[in-house]
C-alpha cells in the first residue's frame, strides 16, 4: 500500500481532536472524523485504488463531506479545512488529550490563560511553576502532564514496529526491482523485530560498478524529504512518512553475510561474537571473519557460514539481543521456537456487536478465506466499556444465538463464543456468572483505573472460575500510557496455579505482554495466548507481531495455547472449572 491510508487516518484523528477542542456543538463532526480515522486505519485496500475507481463515496462509515476531503488530499496533497483548523487550535498539545484526565477544557485554559501552543511551551511553563497556580491544575494533574510529555517526547524518537515494517517493505519492494541489486534485506532493529524502531537500515549487495546507479534510484524513491549524507557505499535519507531516517549500505556479494550480521546487531550480540572470534584466533568485522595469523578470509558470504565457523547454531535475528541467546543454542531450543505457521486460531476479536467495524459474519468469512486457522473466538466488550458499545447479558445471549445459527448454516463449529469482560474497580466482573458459564472462552481485561496498583484486581479475576485469560495485562499504550503497577511475580504464580492464561496482545500500540514480561511469564510456567484484538479484517495481520514477541521471549508451541487444537483449549477451560467445583464442594 502507498501509506496514504495511514496519513489520512492520522489527519482525521487530529481533526477529530480539534473539533472536540472547539466545543460541544462540534461533537458530531468530532465523532464523524474519529470514525473516518478508524475506518481508514482498518481498510484493507489502498485508498488510492478506491479513488482511481471513483468509489470514495461507497466506503462504509465515511460520509460525503469526508470523502471530498480525501479526494482533495489525493489531488492537492492538502486539506484546506485542516490547515484552517491548525491555525485556530493549539494543535501541538492536542495529543495530550489522549491521556486520561486531561480533556479539551484543560487545553483551552492553558491556551487562553498562559498562551501555551506547543509542547515545549507547556514543559517550560510546568518547570517554571506557572501551571501549578492555575485553577483546576492540582499538583497530581501537573505531574501527570509532565509524565505524558516525557512519553510523547520518547515516542517521537521511535516509531512502532508495524509502521517501520510498512515503510521498509515498500522500499524493499521498489529497490528489488532494480536488476543490478543482487541481494537485499532490512537490517538493524527492524530485522530483530524490536517493538519500536529508531531508524531504518537496509543492506544491498551488488557489483561495485553498479553502486552509483542503485544509490541514484534510492534517492529518487517516492516520499524522500532530504538526503542527509551520501558516500560511495552509504547513503542516509529522510523520508516524509513519520519523518524517518533510512540508511542504505551497499556491499559486495562476498561480504553479504558479514555485513548483514554486523548491521542487524544488536551491538551486544556483535560484541559477544567478536570476543568469541578473538578467542579462536579470528578477527571479525563487517567484511568477514579472518584468521589473525595470516589474514586469510575464512567466512563472510552468508550469516550461516559465520555462525558455523564459530561453532554456533544459526541464531534467528529476533534473538540477537546479547541476552544468553548463545546458551539457548546449546539447548537445541532454537528450532522449536513458535512460528506463524503454528497458529491455529485467533482468540480475541471484535465485531460491530461492540466497537469493531464489521459484522461477526464478515470477520469470520474473512479469516476463513485468508487464514488456515481452525477456530476464532468472538470477544466483544461488556457493558461497562460504554465508549466501545459494550454488550449486556441479553445482548451477549443474542450474539451467542447468532453465532450458533451461523455455525449451523456453515455446518461447522468455527466461531467460538466468548467475551472480553471488563474487570471492574473491585476485581469483580462486569457480567453475571449465568452468561459467562455459557461461553467457550472468557478474556477479562482492565479498561479503567490505570493510575493505581492493579495487582489485587488481576489476581481476583484469575481466581474467577470462568476467566480463562487476562487481556492486555499491563494496560500500556506505547508512547501514550505507561502500564499500571502490578506485582508480576505474584500474578504469574496465581495465573499458573489457577489455570489462567495471559495474553500477548498484538495490537501495534499495545504489544502487551511485551517480550520481557512474556519471558518471565513463560519461565513461571504460565500459558500464553497470542491475539490480534482485531477491530477490522485487516488487523488479523497483527498475529505476526505477536509471534515476534513470543519468539523474542523464547516461546515454543507448548507455551502458546492458540497453537493447540480446540480440544486442548476446551480441556484448559474445563479443568479450571472442575477444580473450582471440587473446591466448592469441599467448603
Stretch that binds ligand DGT, among 40-48, 191-199, 391-399, 572-580 (CB under 6 A): 191-199
The residue ranges of DSSP E strands in 103-233, in sequence order, are 159-160, 183-186, 196-197, 200-205, 224-230
Using the minimum distance from each CB to ligand DGT, give the nearer residue, 114 or 175.
175
Rounded to a whole number of angstroms, the minimum distance from the CB of residue 231 to ligand DGT is 16
95, 185, 195, 201: residue in contact with ligand DGT (rule CB under 6 A): 201
Q: How many residues bind ligand DGT (CB under 6 A)?
A: 12
Using the minimum distance from each CB to Zn ion, give the nearer residue, 14 or 531.
531
Stretch that binds ligand DGT, among 83-91, 197-205, 336-344, 482-490 (CB under 6 A): 197-205
Rounded to a whole number of angstroms, the minimum distance from the CB of residue 370 to Zn ion is 21
For residue 482, the 8-state DSSP code is: P
Cell numbers at residue 282, please? 579470528
Considering the rule CB under 6 A, would residue 198 count as an interface residue with ligand DGT?
Answer: yes
Binding-residue pattern over the window 508 to 537 for Zn ion, x denoting contact by CB under 5 A: -------------------------x----
Binding-residue pattern over the window 98 to 127 for ligand DGT, x denoting contact by CB under 6 A: ------------------------------
Q: How many residues bind Ca ion (CB under 5 A)?
A: 5
Rounded to a whole number of angstroms, the minimum distance from the CB of residue 190 to Ca ion is 7
Considering the rule CB under 6 A, would residue 236 count as an interface residue with ligand DGT?
Answer: no
- List Cα–Cα distances, 458 to 26, 32, 442, 480, 521, in angstroms: 38, 35, 14, 22, 15
Using the minimum distance from each CB to ligand DGT, give the nearer residue, 66 or 171.
171
- From the list Ca ion, Zn ion, ligand DGT, none, partner contacted by residue 265 (C-beta under 5 to 8 A by kind): ligand DGT
Do residues 537 and 363 make contact, with C-beta atoms less than 8 angstroms apart? yes
3, 42, 104, 188: residue in contact with ligand DGT (rule CB under 6 A): 188
Considering the rule CB under 5 A, would residue 201 count as an interface residue with Ca ion?
Answer: yes
Say how far apart CA 117 and CA 107 lie, in whole Å. Answer: 9
- List Cα–Cα distances, 421 to 418, 428, 435, 539, in angstroms: 9, 10, 11, 21
Say how far apart CA 302 and CA 94 lie, in whole Å. Answer: 49
Considering the rule CB under 5 A, would residue 420 count as an interface residue with Zn ion?
Answer: yes
- From the list Ca ion, Zn ion, ligand DGT, none, partner contacted by residue 267 (C-beta under 5 to 8 A by kind): ligand DGT
Do residues 417 and 438 make contact, with C-beta atoms less than 8 angstroms apart? yes
Nearest to 146 by CA among 163, 125, 161: 125
Considering the rule CB under 5 A, would residue 286 count as an interface residue with Ca ion?
Answer: no
Considering the rule CB under 6 A, would residue 197 count as an interface residue with ligand DGT?
Answer: yes
Give, for 404, the enclosing helix (H) or strand (E): helix 393-410
Cell numbers at residue 27, please? 461533537
b/e burial code for range 267-290 (CB count within 10 A of at least 16 → b)? eebbebbbeebeeeebebeebbbb
95, 247, 537, 559: residue in contact with Ca ion (rule CB under 5 A): 247
Give, for 402, the enclosing helix (H) or strand (E): helix 393-410
Q: Which residue has the cell 482468540?
A: 347
Considering the rule CB under 6 A, would residue 306 count as an interface residue with ligand DGT?
Answer: no
Spell out the SS3 assignment of 520-548.
HHHHCCCCEEEECCECCHHHHHHHHHHHH
Stretch that binds Ca ion, among 165-173, 186-194, 392-400, 517-525 (CB under 5 A): 186-194
Say how far apart CA 270 and CA 158 lie, in whole Å. Answer: 22
Considering the rule CB under 6 A, would residue 400 count as an interface residue with ligand DGT?
Answer: no
- From the list Zn ion, ligand DGT, Ca ion, none, partner contacted by residue 546 (C-beta under 5 to 8 A by kind): none
Cell numbers at residue 376, please? 476464532
Considering the rule CB under 5 A, would residue 430 count as an interface residue with Zn ion?
Answer: no
Rounded to a whole number of angstroms, the minimum distance from the CB of residue 367 to ligand DGT is 32
Considering the rule CB under 6 A, would residue 199 count as an interface residue with ligand DGT?
Answer: yes
Considering the rule CB under 5 A, would residue 195 count as an interface residue with Ca ion?
Answer: no
Using the minimum distance from each CB to ligand DGT, give the nearer residue, 197 or 569.
197
Using the minimum distance from each CB to Ca ion, give the nearer residue, 162 or 358.
162
Do residues 256 and 250 make contact, with C-beta atoms less than 8 angstroms apart? no
Burial level of 92, CB count in 10 A (0-12/13-18/19+)? middle
- List Cα–Cα distances, 510 to 193, 474, 542, in angstroms: 15, 9, 11
Using the minimum distance from each CB to ligand DGT, give the nearer residue, 234 or 578.
234
Say how far apart CA 7 and CA 465 lie, in whole Å. Answer: 44
Q: Contact residues for ligand DGT (CB under 6 A)?
A: 188-189, 197-199, 201, 262-263, 265-267, 270
Q: Contact residues for Ca ion (CB under 5 A)?
A: 188-189, 199, 201, 247
Q: Contact residues for Zn ion (CB under 5 A)?
A: 420, 533
Amino acid at each position: 500500500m502507498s501509506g496514504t491510508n495511514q496519513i489520512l487516518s492520522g489527519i482525521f484523528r487530529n481533526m477529530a481532536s480539534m473539533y472536540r477542542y472547539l466545543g460541544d456543538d462540534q461533537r458530531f463532526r468530532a465523532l464523524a472524523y474519529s470514525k473516518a480515522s478508524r475506518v481508514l486505519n482498518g481498510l484493507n485496500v489502498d485508498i488510492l485504488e478506491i479513488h482511481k475507481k471513483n468509489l470514495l463515496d461507497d466506503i462504509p462509515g465515511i460520509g460525503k463531506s469526508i470523502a471530498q476531503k480525501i479526494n482533495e488530499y489525493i489531488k492537492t496533497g492538502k486539506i484546506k479545512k485542516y490547515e484552517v483548523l491548525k491555525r485556530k487550535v493549539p494543535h501541538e498539545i492536542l495529543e495530550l488529550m489522549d491521556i486520561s484526565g486531561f480533556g479539551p477544557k484543560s487545553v483551552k485554559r492553558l491556551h487562553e490563560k498562559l498562551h501555551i501552543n506547543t509542547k515545549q511551551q507547556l514543559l517550560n511553563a510546568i518547570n517554571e511553576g506557572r501551571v501549578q497556580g492555575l485553577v483546576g491544575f492540582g499538583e497530581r494533574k501537573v505531574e501527570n502532564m509532565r509524565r505524558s510529555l516525557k512519553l510523547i517526547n520518547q515516542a517521537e524518537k521511535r516509531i512502532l514496529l508495524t509502521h517501520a515494517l510498512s515503510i521498509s517493505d515498500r522500499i524493499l519492494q521498489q529497490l528489488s526491482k532494480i536488476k543490478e541489486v543482487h541481494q537485499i534485506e532490512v537490517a538493524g532493529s527492524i530485522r530483530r523485530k524490536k517493538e519500536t524502531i529508531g531508524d531504518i537500515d537496509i543492506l544491498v549487495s551488488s557489483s561495485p560498478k553498479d553502486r552509483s546507479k542503485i544509490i541514484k534510484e534510492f534517492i529518487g524513491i517516492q516520499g524522500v524529504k532530504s538526503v542527509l549524507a551520501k558516500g560511495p557505499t552509504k547513503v542516509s535519507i529522510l523520508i516524509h512518512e513519520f519523518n524517518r531516517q533510512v540508511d542504505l549500505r551497499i556491499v559486495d556479494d562476498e561480504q553479504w553475510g558479514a555485513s548483514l550480521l554486523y548491521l542487524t546487531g544488536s551491538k551486544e550480540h556483535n560484541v559477544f561474537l567478536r570476543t568469541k572470534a578473538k578467542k579462536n584466533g579470528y578477527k571479525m568485522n563487517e567484511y568477514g571473519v579472518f584468521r589473525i595469523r595470516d589474514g586469510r578470509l575464512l567466512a563472510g558470504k552468508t550469516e550461516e557460514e559465520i555462525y558455523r565457523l564459530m561453532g554456533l547454531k544459526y541464531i534467528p535475528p529476533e534473538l540477537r539481543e546479547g541476552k544468553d541467546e548463545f546458551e539457548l543454542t546449546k539447548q537445541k531450543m532454537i528450532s522449536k521456537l513458535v512460528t506463524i505457521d503454528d497458529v491455529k486460531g485467533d482468540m480475541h476479536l471484535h465485531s460491530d456487536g461492540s466497537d469493531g467495524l464489521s459484522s461477526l459474519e464478515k470477520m469470520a468469512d474473512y479469516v476463513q478465506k485468508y487464514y488456515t486457522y481452525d477456530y476464532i473466538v468472538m470477544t466483544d466488550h461488556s457493558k461497562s466499556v460504554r465508549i466501545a458499545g459494550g454488550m449486556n447479558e441479553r445482548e451477549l445471549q443474542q450474539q451467542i444465538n447468532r453465532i450458533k445459527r451461523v455455525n449451523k448454516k456453515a455446518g461447522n463449529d468455527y466461531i467460538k463464543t466468548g467475551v472480553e469482560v471488563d474487570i471492574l474497580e473491585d476485581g469483580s466482573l462486569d457480567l453475571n456468572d449465568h452468561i459467562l458459564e455459557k461461553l467457550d472462552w472468557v478474556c477479562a481485561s482492565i479498561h479503567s483505573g490505570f493510575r493505581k496498583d492493579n495487582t489485587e484486581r488481576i489476581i481476583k479475576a484469575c481466581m474467577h472460575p470462568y476467566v480463562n485469560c487476562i487481556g492486555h495485562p499491563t494496560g500500556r499504550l506505547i508512547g501514550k500510557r505507561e502500564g499500571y503497577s502490578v506485582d508480576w511475580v505474584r500474578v504469574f504464580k496465581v495465573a499458573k496455579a489457577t489455570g489462567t492464561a495471559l495474553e500477548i496482545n498484538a495490537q501495534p500500540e499495545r504489544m502487551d505482554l511485551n517480550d520481557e514480561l512474556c519471558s518471565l511469564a513463560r519461565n513461571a510456567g504460565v500459558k500464553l495466548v497470542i491475539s490480534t484484538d482485531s477491530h477490522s479484517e485487516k488487523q488479523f495481520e497483527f498475529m505476526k507481531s505477536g509471534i515476534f514477541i513470543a519468539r523474542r521471549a523464547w516461546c515454543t508451541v507448548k507455551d502458546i495455547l492458540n497453537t493447540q487444537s480446540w480440544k486442548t483449549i476446551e480441556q484448559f477451560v474445563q479443568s479450571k472449572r472442575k477444580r473450582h467445583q471440587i473446591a466448592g464442594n469441599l467448603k
